[in-house]
């Protein structure tokens, strides 16, 4: 093995990935995957990942066109420079503060309370799986509502999001889902061009910057990107937040009594269990990172999940700590490509978690489901991480708050 070659990444889908990344940070923060001639490199420390993501001139996003393009089409995540600035400004308007405030009161809060109402018959009995009943449904219903998609399409949107996220691992399935989504959205998009309403599709098809509107390829590329990004990553983050709280009953009770702590819950969980743990870039020239010369034209895998547990930046980095005082994380990326929907995601997590803690009295893991028990719940995944199930019981469902 050469002095820039990394050992094989673990295939286990549990927490072992953090041990591997810790070894990389300690022994070889920047290195090749798959042999001395590999054109794929891994970057694992916070400072190095931040350096790459904040330098679009030396580290291009165009590599995303190779991996995402066959499924998503034309997406801003694969753009650089002036092209990226222009198209990002076009879609950024859709996430303006006034729209977020309206979505919170008219869509996000009613959606989570409707889902919680559906749990009433399970109170005091065998319990439910919060992943199946809440976290897998809530964000996709919010995104569908934000877009202005009919409610009867929610299940199809969820299935398409899951399939599109398979990407290069199963192109036939992911491309078929992307095609089906475009066919479904086409009449809605064409209608909004003529009769815009107050939904996000209308904002996207009518927005102008410097007299330019999005082409159809850009419209559908953005909508395809928004569905899995907005639905599946928030679903994963919400599951990890609940996992963290349910694993610590005394902290759950503390947050239930003091909802102002919900922001801290969200931010610490995003750091501790980053939903999307890797971001891709490509070198535009030979560059030295952490003393290692990386050639031009190679793919860099920036392990944001590793960066967010870098022990040189965070005390007891592997621990979930509600009272952590160290600054920030890069779960939403950083630099020019920082996630456009991060404020919407944070709002969904805060409102959704707050409603669950306020209304599900006596919320706790089902017998045998606690982490560490044989067959207990754990967070799984490599590039995408979340708990696949959250079996819980609760004593009662309290009424919706008066508004």
Decide if 10 is inside a domain: no
pLDDT of residue 5 exceeding 70: no
Average pLDDT over residues 299-304: 96
pLDDT in tens, 120-148: 887 767 789 999 999 999 998 998 888 88
Q: What is the pLDDT of residue 10?
A: 61
Q: Which residues pair with 30 in a beta bridge?
A: 43
pLDDT of residue 11 exceeding 60: no
Compute the Cα dihedral for 176, 9, 226, 281 and give only its sign: negative
Decide if 5 is inside a domain: no
pLDDT of residue 239 exceeding 80: yes
Instruction: Count structural domains, the chain.
Output: 1
pLDDT of residue 3 exceeding 80: no
Q: Could you tell me the CATH number of the domain that includes residue 187?
A: 1.10.630.10
Q: What is the pLDDT of residue 1?
A: 47
pLDDT of residue 384 exceeding 70: yes
> What is the percent of the chain with per-residue pLDDT over 70, rounded to a whole number?
96
pLDDT of residue 15 exceeding 60: no
Residue 21: pLDDT band by 50, 70, 90 thresholds? Answer: very high
pLDDT of residue 296 exceeding 90: yes
Contact present, 100 and 87 (Cβ < 8 Å): no
pLDDT in tens, 264-285: 999 999 999 998 899 999 999 9
pLDDT of residue 252 exceeding 70: yes
Q: What is the pLDDT of residue 125?
A: 74
pLDDT of residue 316 exceeding 60: yes
Contact present, 85 and 333 (Cβ < 8 Å): no
**11/394 Cα distance (integer angstroms):** 36
Decide if 247 is inside a domain: yes
Q: What is the pLDDT of residue 87?
A: 79
Decide if 403 is inside a domain: no
**281/61 Cα distance (integer angstroms):** 5
Q: Is pTM beyond 0.75 here?
A: yes
Decide if 402 is inside a domain: no
**CB-based burial, 188-223: b 16+ in 10 Å, e otherwise:** bbeebeeeeeebbbbbbbebebeeeebeeebbbbbb
Identify the CA nearest to 371 among candidates 10, 14, 32.
Answer: 14
Decide if 302 is inside a domain: yes
- Phi and psi at 267, nearest 5°, equal -70, -40
**136/206 Cα distance (integer angstroms):** 31
Q: What is the pLDDT of residue 180?
A: 92
pLDDT in tens, 176-232: 999 999 999 999 999 999 999 988 899 888 887 677 777 888 888 888 888 777 778
**Residue 219 lies in domain:** 16-397
pLDDT in tens, 149-191: 887 787 888 888 888 878 778 889 999 999 999 999 999 999 9
Out of 14-23, 75-84, 115-124, 357-366, the most confident range is 357-366
Decide if 7 is inside a domain: no
Decide if 2 is inside a domain: no
Average pLDDT of the chain?
89
């Amino acid at each position: 093995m050469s002095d820039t070659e990394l050992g094989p990444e673990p295939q286990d889908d549990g927490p072992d990935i953090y041990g591997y990344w810790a070894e990389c940070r300690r022994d070889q923060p920047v290195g090749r995957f798959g042999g001395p001639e590999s054109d794929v490199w891994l970057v694992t420390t916070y400072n190095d990942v931040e350096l790459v993501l904040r330098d679009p001139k030396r580290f291009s996003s165009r590599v995303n066109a190779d991996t995402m393009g066959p499924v998503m089409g034309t997406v801003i995540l694969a753009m650089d420079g002036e092209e990226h600035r222009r198209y990002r400004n076009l879609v950024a308007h859709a996430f303006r503060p006034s729209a977020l405030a309206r979505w919170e009161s008219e869509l996000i809060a009613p959606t989570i309370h409707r889902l919680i109402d559906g749990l009433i018959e399970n109170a005091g009995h065998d319990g439910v799986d919060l992943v199946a009943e809440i976290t897998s449904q809530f964000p996709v219903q919010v995104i569908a509502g934000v877009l202005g998609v009919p409610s009867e399409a929610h299940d199809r949107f969820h299935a398409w999001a899951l399939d599109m996220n398979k990407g290069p691992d199963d192109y036939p399935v992911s491309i078929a889902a992307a095609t089906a989504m475009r066919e479904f959205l086409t009449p809605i998009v064409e209608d909004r061009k003529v009769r815009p309403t107050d939904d996000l599709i209308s904002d996207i098809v009518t927005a102008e910057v410097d007299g330019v509107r999005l082409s159809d390829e850009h419209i559908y590329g953005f909508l395809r990107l928004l569905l899995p990004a907005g639905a599946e990553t928030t679903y994963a983050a919400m599951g990890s937040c609940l996992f963290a709280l349910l694993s610590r009953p005394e902290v759950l009770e503390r947050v239930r009594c003091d909802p102002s702590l919900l922001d801290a819950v969200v931010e610490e969980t995003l750091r501790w269990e980053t939903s999307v743990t890797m971001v891709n870039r490509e070198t535009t020239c030979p560059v030295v990172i952490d003393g290692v010369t990386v050639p031009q034209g190679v793919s860099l895998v920036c392990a944001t999940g590793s960066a967010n547990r870098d022990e040189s930046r965070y005390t007891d980095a592997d621990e979930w700590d509600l009272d952590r005082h160290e600054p920030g994380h890069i779960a939403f990326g950083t630099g020019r490509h920082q996630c456009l929907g991060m404020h919407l995601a944070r709002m969904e997590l805060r409102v959704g978690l707050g409603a669950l803690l306020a209304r599900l009295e006596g919320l706790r893991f089902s017998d045998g489901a606690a982490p560490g028990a044989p067959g207990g719940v754990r967070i799984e995944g490599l590039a995408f991480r979340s708990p696949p199930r959250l079996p819980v019981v609760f004593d009662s469902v309290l009424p919706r708050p008066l508004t």
